[in-house]
Structure 1
């Protein structure tokens, strides 16, 4: 097990509190409601809310809803659910960027009056051309020379809806020669004739994210605005806007975002997978979305533990999904009740067991926790075992069924394989076995040692279930680094569906997790019904992390 990485942000906060620079800690988690949250957002959620908890402060949940054409209330509700699922609560501190649209508009007018903003009519392509490249100064657009009065009049007409989308933008007047492209008179307002989910048709101009974000932080009294590393080059603009407005100024601190092997974190790419039906929706258990991981059976605590272990640094890195799976196993191994299931069935007939008889065996729900009790497992003449638990030409070290070998049927009897029935193609389709009636419970009365133990399910009392076997979504470790179209890198074996037989106690409420003995961890899918049970493989039993 690796040691959790450090947290330089908490070092900064400690110093701020000690020096008196800050007397409290206020953070915020500011998602844009234009998609579902993924594991990368989980890192930010754990940092933002976890920091507030550590310092007895508060964390705001604030929706940066400044782009009505990409936002939806579906995403809003999903984000709330994900934050709560991870174990955090914002209490009364739920905010929206749209709460501050009037204040933002007044601030924009203030910048115009100060000669720090102007209306520009360049097209998108011309805007980029005039901005130039970092090593050469940009060109000043003609609109930069407009008078304050002209700019105020044009901006008011923009607000009144007199211009088409894209006809004008309001730009901050900073420095067209700055080596930082984000400081070369960035756009701070654009025209969008689109209805907003909170404000309806009240506005047809909307603030740009960089303009809105710092103002939101300032209005809410955020002390430490924690952002991922790509916002580092935006920080001078963050500081410039608040300085020019003479507004309260939070401290923006950047950290490296989470990148995970065998997946992509781009919201645009994830959306493309959904829209092109390459996955079965945002909550497809192969997706790195939090709703997908929840559906797959990942415990929230495992995600929090993973985020703690990878730590907070300034260095971009690629985290191994095997570490995340290790934490999933760690939690499920402790909490998940045990059940038996057969995913590749081979029939076994116990020839010396009465045909009509059914008896039950009490098996522990968990081998290390007697407090969770036992469950009754039905045993009958006909059983199913895994096909891999029989081998015709078995080596001496093989501990499972072969002709003449005795094995333990988990918690039931000792059984010996006497005959293998084959079909016309030579495939084994049935085993004929006998049990030792005196070995009830799986112990030999004479004390003889039986090395092999296999799981089983009654052929008549077991329940047929659809089982989804999930694997890595992509076939390469770092698809984001490959030159090929990321969609061509999808793993064709990322989902296999089989029909399994499970013991009756393995069918319960959606979301409940089990360990299928000798197979892996599974959970009941949200679409599961009593008539058509559906189970998802969460993770296999083997933990290869850091070995």
Structure 2
């Protein structure tokens, strides 16, 4: 197989996906000639709408392929007819197109049913699969336990002929659901339960949304997915971390059905990355379906939902969704992402594309007593502080045309009767109030300064009308407020959307224990947390009626605006009509959930780049409660870092896991609990005992294993239930410090890179990092870094 020229491998600065452990594998595969191109795939199940987790996973699949000049397939993994529908399939395809992905290479696992069946018969003929006839409960019992190997069922020794006959009769529909199943014949004593003769096919008399009633046996995911990859010529199969144990089945199928010696090409391999969950959100399809079925939301595209169709209806752009996916990074461990990351990606995108106009969401009538006739004002769509540096110096109009900032203006009528936001007036203003008060003054945006002379109250005692005087320009004003003409403005409905849940981890607060014997694909079979609905935010949708500038009525329906001092909005594409406009709030102007001073004014919409980066890097934290503050203080006193102490104090489940440890252990274990075990502990699925974690962290501290490998071991322990240190010993993962082994590895790296050796010896000492990285890669990250540094210095002279 010919090698790909090295100069076709993208430079780090040219990549849209930041270099990570998967791109390192791809680089090595291309350099070694194991593959001559890159083909990836994004394989969602059509059993629900695509959500934000799919935005991240699809970005990784599609963008990685694009970085290498390769292609990515969109494949609907539709092997379970129960719950899969054409509606879900169509919605996923639509969402992928909306994200900007090329969906022309569209495939379905159901397209391969005949081929999959043929491969199953091939395994039977090789003696590698058999028809099982015990019940599901008996099958689970016979698999054994963590400490006890499985027991062969009486049907494991059936002949090839008998297995083929029964399997064909299964296909012909002669048996009821559960009567038989096809199992792989692998290893009933394997520590990985996935290899204890997994089920490949089950009988299921159910109609499929594409194939109808043609089939009554359906392949299991672990059988269909790897073979579909091989059929399509996938080179690198990326999936989330819960499939780490499934990789063994993947490799077993590749080795037995698609060996390189037979096919002439390297079969695909699976690589697992950590999932990215989002605070204040649930993405379990089971829970999303419950939100819809119990009418907590109006449907899968309700703008409060975490689905891509909901994000689109709310008004976020695909550019913002891709920016979010690009920012959250790829690693080997699961992470929880602060929702602020998504919200800031949306704000940053809209800040550059949304013209500024005025709208009033909760009107209070104001009469300008000394305004005799209507005036027409010419106001800028883009105030000076909103115009960004760089680019062509032009700004967009609502119709999409780009013009010089001074040309981006609209006409705004100032009439005798206007409306202002009700909260912009206070009869009894608090200290520091900078808006309108009885006898006080304030500037109307672009129109002049007014003084409140009279307050008319309604029957409820609340202000119903303000009567004001327009003053000369040299008058002083305490602040600036927005307004709309009461007689010329357009009456609209505003939908003020906010976070759907009031706590960061709504589906992890009271999660029941996880059953390790149950599969975890798409989180469909995990026990349902019955209490997550109790955290629904009662103010996640507030509907008001107000007014917008008349110019808005003439703009294209898909225009996104910044309604000054209110937020970013656009017309709802489902419910809005020309005669009854409905505006969705896409996002607020600032984070309203983070720690902030009471009554703080919204920050400026445009900042220098360095300041924006500092804002993005600064942690945005909700204030601790009176119960959490003392916990935080005690943790800090015992030496826990500020960030870890804050996160632990917020979550009693995490602090309970660490209860009773010494100060030294607390300091060493806290970062691992926060960064690597938090999700599992919240969900009740944690399978790593505190003593086992301490033993693993101890190995890291004494230099017996690297932190990177320890994280991989922890992830494996979570899925297998095996003690981390036992995994280390079984796989021989301890740090390599044997000088002979290290010299051999280092010399191999030097021999493979003679040009770089010459450059180093010629004075390019910065290459030491390159050599160190290559040695660590050659030793799977197990080499002792100090010994590597010493021996490299010696061998390089």
For 2:147 and 2:572, the matched residues in 1 are separated by: 54
Count of matched residue pairs: 533
**What SS class does the counterpart of residue 143 from structure 1 fall into?**
coil
Counterpart residue number, 2:542: 496
Q: Does the CA-based 8 Å contact 1:302-1:327 persist in structure 2?
A: yes
For 1:505 and 1:542, the matched residues in 2 are separated by: 26
For 1:22 and 1:476, the matched residues in 2 are separated by: 46
Counterpart residue number, 2:381: 365
Deviation at 1:510, TM superposition (A): 4.7
Alignment of 1:84-99 (within 5 A): 84-91=97-104, 93-99=105-111
Residue 148 (str. 1) matches residue 160 (str. 2) = yes
Alignment of 1:256-271 (within 5 A): 256-271=274-289
Deviation at 1:425, TM superposition (A): 4.2
2:114 to 99, 102, 109: 102
Residue 405 (str. 1) matches residue 440 (str. 2) = yes
For 1:221 and 1:489, the matched residues in 2 are separated by: 45
Normalising by structure 2, we get a TM-score of 0.65
2:462 to 427, 433, 436: 427
1:525 to 561, 566, 572: 572
Q: What are the ranges of 5 or more consecutive residues in structure 2 without an aligned counterpart?
A: 1-16, 260-265, 388-394, 396-403, 511-529, 595-615, 620-797
For 2:302 and 2:101, the matched residues in 1 are separated by: 23
Q: Does the CA-based 8 Å contact 2:93-2:103 persist in structure 1?
A: no
For 1:374 and 1:130, the matched residues in 2 are separated by: 76
Higher relative helix content: 2
Counterpart residue number, 2:49: 36
Q: Does the CA-based 8 Å contact 2:230-2:258 persist in structure 1?
A: no
Deviation at 1:359, TM superposition (A): 3.0
For 1:49 and 1:416, the matched residues in 2 are separated by: 58
**What SS class does the counterpart of residue 11 from structure 1 fall into?**
helix
**What SS class does the counterpart of residue 318 from structure 1 fall into?**
strand
Counterpart residue number, 2:560: 513
Deviation at 1:288, TM superposition (A): 0.6
RMSD of Structure 2 on Structure 1 (CA): 1.8
For 2:296 and 2:430, the matched residues in 1 are separated by: 43
2:589 to 531, 541, 544: 541
Specify which structure has the bigger relative contact order, considering alpha-carbon pairs within 8 angstroms and separated by 6 or more residues. Answer: 1
Deviation at 1:172, TM superposition (A): 0.6
Counterpart residue number, 2:189: 177
Summarize deviations over 1:362-412 as a string: whole Å, max 9, x none.
222222234572222222111110111112234674332122322221112
Counterpart residue number, 2:481: 454
Q: Does the CA-based 8 Å contact 2:506-2:532 persist in structure 1?
A: yes
For 1:122 and 1:301, the matched residues in 2 are separated by: 52
**What SS class does the counterpart of residue 59 from structure 2 fall into?**
helix
Summarize deviations over 1:272-319 as a string: whole Å, max 9, x none.
211221111100111110011111111211121111111100111110
For 1:165 and 1:36, the matched residues in 2 are separated by: 28
For 2:307 and 2:429, the matched residues in 1 are separated by: 44
Summarize deviations over 1:330-361 as a string: whole Å, max 9, x none.
0111111112111111110011123xx43322
For 1:185 and 1:516, the matched residues in 2 are separated by: 61
Q: Does the CA-based 8 Å contact 1:455-1:517 persist in structure 2?
A: yes
For 1:418 and 1:156, the matched residues in 2 are separated by: 90
Residue 473 (str. 1) matches residue 491 (str. 2) = no
**What SS class does the counterpart of residue 346 from structure 1 fall into?**
strand
Counterpart residue number, 1:482: 509
Counterpart residue number, 2:727: none
Residue 239 (str. 1) matches residue 270 (str. 2) = no
Residue 118 (str. 1) matches residue 145 (str. 2) = no
For 1:289 and 1:396, the matched residues in 2 are separated by: 42
For 1:314 and 1:497, the matched residues in 2 are separated by: 43
Counterpart residue number, 2:759: none
Counterpart residue number, 1:415: 450
Counterpart residue number, 2:226: 214
**What SS class does the counterpart of residue 474 from structure 1 fall into?**
coil
Residue 47 (str. 1) matches residue 94 (str. 2) = no
For 2:466 and 2:293, the matched residues in 1 are separated by: 48
For 1:228 and 1:127, the matched residues in 2 are separated by: 27
Deviation at 1:450, TM superposition (A): 3.4
Structure 1 residues 477 and 395: alpha-carbon distance in aligned structure 2, compared to 1, 3 A threshold: closer
